Structure 1
Amino acid sequence: MDFILGFTLLLLFQLLGEIIVIFFELPVSGPVMGIVLLLIALLIKGSVGKSLNNASTTLIGHLSIMFVPVSVGLMAHYELLMNEWLAITVTLLGSTIIMLVSTALLMSITSRFFAKETKHDV
């Protein structure tokens, strides 16, 4: 019963996210908005309930099943991928480099901020 309650809660947050995205015409997907709303609710509550923990743990345990549709899509669009391999490769490499550099810069900035904050506390 805990799993059903937790899974229903996850679906309700996803539905709420979809409704907000459609109503306000936001440029983000409904599930992402639902996750943000769930995060806010969990921060306000301060803990994860037993049912939500049970449902999320069970779903994460079966996460590998989610790769099946991606694999089928790769096989179904093999010809398109072979025709556009250069653009896909450049895009993946470029976005990876941008992500790594931006993460390193953000980590550098935040570590300096927290280092200054720690010196003042002592």
Structure 2
Amino acid sequence: MNFLNGITLLLVYQLVGEVTVRLLDVPIPGPVLGMVMLFVTLLIRGQAPESVDQASSALLSHLSLLFVPAGVGMMVHFDRIAEEWVPITLALLLSTIITMVATALIMQLTSRWLVGARQGKEPDGD
């Protein structure tokens, strides 16, 4: 029953995200907004409820199954992918590089902020 409560809560957050996106015409996927809302809720609470922890652990243990539809889509549209491999490759490479650079910069800023907070100082802006 704990798992069922957790998965229901996760799906409710996804539904709230979908409804919010459609009502406000926000250019963000509904599940992403729902996940942000769930994250904010968990930050406020300070911990995840046992039911959400159990449901998310079960979903993560079967994560590889969620890639099956993507693999089938690749096979179905293989001809189109073969025709447009250059832009696809460039998009993948550029997005990977941009993500890595952004992650490194955020990590550096966060590290400086945490070190400054531990020393009782305000973080500097450089």
Larger CA deviation: 38-47 vs 60-69? 38-47
- The residue identity in structure 1 corresponding to 2:33 is M
Deviation larger for 92-101 or 1-10: 92-101
The one-character-per-residue Cα deviations of 1:79-111 (angstroms, maximum 9, x if unpaired) are 000000011111111121222223223333443
- Give the corresponding residue for 2:100: 100
User: Aligned AA for 1:89?
Assistant: T
Q: TM-score, normalised by structure 1?
A: 0.88
| Deviation of 1:115 (Å) | 4.0
The aligned residue for residue 83 of structure 1 is 83
What's the Cα RMSD here?
Answer: 1.6
Report the CA distance shift for 1:5/1:120 in structure 2 as closer, same or farther (over 3 A): closer
> What is the TM-score normalised by the length of structure 2?
0.86
Q: Which residue of 2 aligns with 1:58?
A: 58
Q: Distance in 1 between matches of 2:38 and 2:99?
A: 25
Partner of 1:28: 28
CA distance in 2, matches of 1:52, 1:117: 31
CA distance in 2, matches of 1:37, 1:116: 29
Which has the higher mean CA deviation after the structures are superposed, 50-59 or 78-87? Answer: 50-59
Amino-acid identity (%): 45
Q: Judging by fraction of residues, say which structure has more helix.
A: 1
